Structure 1
Amino acid sequence: MKMKVVRLFAMLAILLALPGQALGEPLKIATILGPPWGFMGSDGQPTGMMYEIGNRIAEVAGLRYTNSLVPCPLSVIPYPRTGADIENGSADVIIRFGNDQMTRGAVPAGVVVSMPVILVDPSGKNYSKLSELHGKTVGVVRTSKYVEQFDTDKAIQKYPVNDYVTMAKILAMRRLDAGVGSSMGLFYGAYMGGVKPEDIGVPLVLGSNDFILFISKKTAKPETTRALKEALDKLSASGEIKQIMSKYSKSFSLPQR
Structure 2
Amino acid sequence: MCLAAVIEDVNEQPHRERSFYEYPKLYDFFHSRVLDRTKQVSLLEHFEPDNANRVLELGCGTGPLLARIEDEYDEVLGVDSDESMLAVAREKVTTADLKRADFTDWCATDHGRTFDTAVLMGGLLHLTRDEDLQALAVNTYDSLREGGAFGTFFQPFTEDVANGNRTVEAVESERYTVKRHATTALTSPEGHYTTTYLFTLRDKNRASEAKIGTVFNGRFHDPDKLADVFRSAGFDDVEVTTGDAPTTLRAVK
TM-score (norm 2): 0.36
TM-score (norm 1): 0.36
Return the structure number with greater strand share: 2
Structure of higher CA gyration radius: 1
Relative CO higher for 1 or 2, CA cutoff 8 Å, sep ≥ 6? 1
Return the structure number with greater helix share: 1
